Structure 1
């Protein structure tokens, strides 16, 4: 795939609605801000608050770090993710990933959105391993609820009833960290993840970078608190092939082999 410059990537991301006028409606974004602050189990993502956050605080943060509308009277309809903000975060993501790989670090990859982001994480895991990093393996089959933890193409996922499940919960990452500790395996030097996998890892003190949608305020709060190192704003559940230029851009900037 040909090299993509930042402006071209931003234009592309808008064209396929990874950024720009994304699928998540405005009312969903606003609702999730409130539910996050209420500690909703599907939206707190394992993020430990280090100060008091108000609704207005989170509202302003989401505009700043995601590009959602700053208009408080806009309560329904279309909302947005800013492509330039996304690309700037991808630059920081790539720089951090590349630095970790050059040190031959141990890197753990995980996703709560396997239908969209599994191929993204898998491409990064494959490239990192090819360049000399170690992709952390976690013993599979540890039970959580009605499912268990699996590792697919180097990426931790939650499996249930024969399918890879969408989950926002932090428990799969908590269970994975506990498994590594119980088996005497060192903690990862870097976690690359999303949703509760990322939120819990960052709150546990593990260096973590990841992805978050405009209705996932928890990870942007975690980043603002200095826990999560990078939160990349994007639509996290478009058709997987649409992320290919994003993958190529990150790998090139990180100095990693193409997927």
Structure 2
């Protein structure tokens, strides 16, 4: 599948285009991020002060939300061309890391949507000779623990996998690696607070982010996160399969 075909596909299944996240949610999350809300800051430690207009312009330019500032509610968008361009940048960094045999850590705060994406990338990296970083499982976190499924770190609680924006699971995982005398990963592939914390900790990181996740795009703009890929991050997992195939092909791993 070439980039034009992928862009059309992404729009057709609403990974991009007219996505499910409403405009009012996008605008509210920009304000909450700037206020340092614990659920929206994603562990991102900015190096300068940001104001709302700057974040809005950033989301317009890197994600493709509607540029109409009077549009306050209803439908909003993600630009498929921006998504595909980010996937190409992602593949370049990821492919180079795998080719160099680096130690790569995978994690997701969206296990019901993106776990298969990360798992497929982890499996491909391992087959090609890279090391998928293994973190000892069972680290307690908020009446649950941190587990690793198919090479991907997730938060487990009460018999289920939990959606989380928190950066704490990544911090706990990195601390556990250090306690065990292991170095930090060479690269992190993640989303939400897993990605934001790693990038702000100085670890090269790639992340997937929705149009209501401004923190990761700010992190990318500040040169912390290597790439933030704009997409709807919580659709049924099967719809991401063509995107996975595209990423693996562009990474030289198909």
TM-score range, shorter chain: over 0.9
1:152 aligned to 2:149?
Answer: yes
Tell me whether 1:87 sits opposite 2:87 in the alignment.
no
Deviations 1:116-136 (A, max 9, x none): 000000000000000000000
Counterpart in 1 of 2:64? Answer: 67
Aligned to 2:191: 194
Instruction: Give the TM-score, by structure 1 length.
Output: 0.98
**Match runs of 1:27-176 below 5 Å:** 27-176=24-173
- Size of the alignment, in residue pairs? 254
Shift of 1:189: 0.5
Distance 1:49 1:188 in 2: 22
Q: Distance in 2 between matches of 1:129 and 1:111?
A: 18
Find the residue that maps to 1:149 and give its secondary structure.
strand
- For the aligned residue pairs, the C-alpha RMSD in angstroms reads 0.4
Q: What are the ranges of 5 or more consecutive residues in structure 1 without an aligned counterpart?
A: none
TM-score, structure 2 as length reference: 1.00
Looking at structure 2, the residues matched to 196 and 187 of structure 1 have their Cα atoms a distance apart, in angstroms, of 17
Unmatched segments (≥5 aa) in structure 2: none
C-alpha distance in 2 between matches for 1:90 and 1:145: 33
User: Are 1:12 and 2:12 matched, yes or no?
Assistant: no
Q: Deviations over 1:133-174 (max 9, x none)?
A: 000000000011111100000000000000000000000000
Match of 1:211 among 208, 212, 230: 208
Report the secondary structure of 1:44's partner residue: coil
CA distance in 2, matches of 1:173, 1:60: 29
Give 1:42 deviation, angstroms. 0.5
Q: 1:227 aligns with which of 224, 229, 233?
A: 224
What is the CA-CA distance between 1:186 and the residue it aligns to?
1.3
Instruction: Name the SS of the counterpart of 1:125 in structure 2.
Output: helix
Q: Decide which of 230, 233, 236 is 2:233's aligned counterpart.
A: 236
Q: Which runs of 4+ in 1 moved over 6 A?
A: none
In the alignment, the residues of structure 2 paired with residue 169 and residue 75 of structure 1 have an alpha-carbon distance, to the nearest angstrom, of 27
Q: CA deviation at 1:104?
A: 0.4
